[in-house]
DNA sequence: ACAATGTCGACCTATTTAGTCGACAATTCG
DNA sequence: CGAATTGTCGACTAAATAGGTCGACATTGT
């Protein structure tokens, strides 16, 4: 329920959302396509989509023509919220966990104060990044990597 | 070998070093005393001290009157280095690991750029904190928690 | 009806974490 | 010297987490 060493959940999950953002406003994208285009194990992706659905980032529809799409505009989805949905708290120390006794910090942890600074800065930065921005950066990189055919 | 979710190693290890800093210039401190005063499992502490010794933070002497002491002045020991000794790389994403192919970043990871920013800032901050400062803060907190007998 | 798709939970394996333990080495002191 | 004290090192283990797979089932378009 805690920790910033991003696991594959955070990585895969964000990849999947970027893929959904890429198709924003179009028809739903299927699990198989997301998995293939972003190199995610298909049956594992299931769990990530389930979590993102629970937390209101994704809407899914069944049956032929079904698939997954963003439940909210990509410009309004903050990376911080997505990651906290997928990974749980991002606190680098257990004693910084949300809901901990904050008034009188753990008596013994000698480095808590530095990590609190770092944690706060990290959350601020992650809150400032939207899915739309992630998509834009992703597109830009794709462009750099796959140069246009017409020189 | 990677990850910033501090494990107990980083926590315990730094506690132990703070205790050593507290006795800087005095005779060596024994494993049992460090463990008791900083609430660390004694036999586990062994491993942490071994690592810190390997990386030149601690010097140990055997026999009666033996124990452990700082190998370098506490003011010259950076928290960043201590943590990297105990935890390995602190990179929040595998693709940011030192020694990774940095020129052409992992093609698929869509959030690498944010995490690189955060990682760099984090390392800068951790590099600016010395063991001496950790000790000073620790003392200050002890003082706040255990008010002096003379009001 | 049936094919395409998503949903959900049980299950599994490898790795990491957080230790414990015991044999051994070095050192001091009497 | 020899006994007591302290550190050193490696093998071992238990529990948790990571990273999945799989199969039964639900829903929906044609």
Look at residue B28 and give its three-state secondary structure. Answer: coil
Give the residue-averaged pLDDT of B27-53.
97
Report yes or no: B129 and B81 within 8 Å, Cβ to Cβ: no
- Minimal-distance CA residue of chain A relative to B140: A110
Closest-lying nucleotide for A60 based on CA to C1': C6
CB pairs under 8 A between A and B: 84
pTM above 0.85, yes or no: yes
Distance A56 CA to C10 C1' (A): 25
Query: Both tokens of residue A46?
Result: 């299931």
Residue B83 or A96, more confident:
B83
Query: Both tokens of residue A56?
Result: 């209101």
Most confident of A33-42, B4-13, B93-102, B137-146: A33-42
What's the rounded Cα separation, in Å, for the pair B144 and A104? 10
Rounded to a whole number of angstroms, the distance from the CA of B65 to the nearest CA of chain A is 27
| Residues paired with A60 in a beta bridge | A68
- Which of A2, A125, A138 has its CB closest to that of B118? A125
A1-25 pLDDT, tens digit per residue, is 556 789 999 999 999 999 999 999 9
State the first-to-last Cα distance of chain B, in angstroms, to the nearest integer: 50
Most confident of B85-94, B98-107, B123-132: B123-132
Residue B146 or A60, more confident:
A60
Indicate the pLDDT class of residue A27, thresholds 50, 70 and 90.
very high
| A 63-122, residues with C-beta < 7 Å of strand C | 63-68
pLDDT at B68: 98
What's the rounded Cα separation, in Å, for the pair A52 and A86? 7
Query: What number of other Cβ atoms are within 10 A of residue B120's Cβ?
Result: 11
Looking at the complex, does the CB of residue B113 fall below 8 Å from at least one CB of chain A?
Answer: yes
pLDDT at A98: 67
What's the rounded Cα separation, in Å, for the pair A89 and A104? 20
Cβ–Cβ of A93/B118 closer than 8 Å? no
State the first-to-last Cα distance of chain A, in angstroms, to the nearest integer: 50
pLDDT at B100: 57
What's the rounded Cα separation, in Å, for the pair B100 and B124? 20
Name the nearest CA neighbour of B138 among B38, B7, B35, B44.
Answer: B38
Cβ–Cβ of B4/A4 closer than 8 Å? yes
Report yes or no: B86 and B13 within 8 Å, Cβ to Cβ: yes
């Amino acid at each position: 329920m805690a920790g910033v060493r991003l696991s594959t959940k955070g990585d895969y999950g964000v990849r999947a959302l970027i893929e959904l953002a890429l198709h924003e406003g179009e028809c739903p994208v299927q699990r198989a396509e997301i998995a293939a285009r972003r190199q995610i194990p298909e049956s594992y992706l299931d769990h990530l989509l389930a979590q993102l659905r629970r937390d209101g980032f994704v809407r899914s529809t069944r049956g032929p023509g079904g698939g997954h799409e963003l439940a909210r505009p990509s410009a309004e989805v903050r990376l911080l919220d997505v990651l906290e949905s997928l990974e749980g708290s991002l606190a680098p120390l257990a004693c910084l966990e949300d809901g901990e006794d904050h008034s009188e910090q753990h008596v013994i942890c000698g480095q808590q104060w530095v990590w609190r600074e770092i944690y706060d800065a990290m959350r601020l930065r992650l809150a400032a990044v939207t899915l739309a921005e992630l998509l834009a950066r992703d597109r830009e990189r794709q462009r750099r990597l796959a140069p246009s055919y017409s020189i």
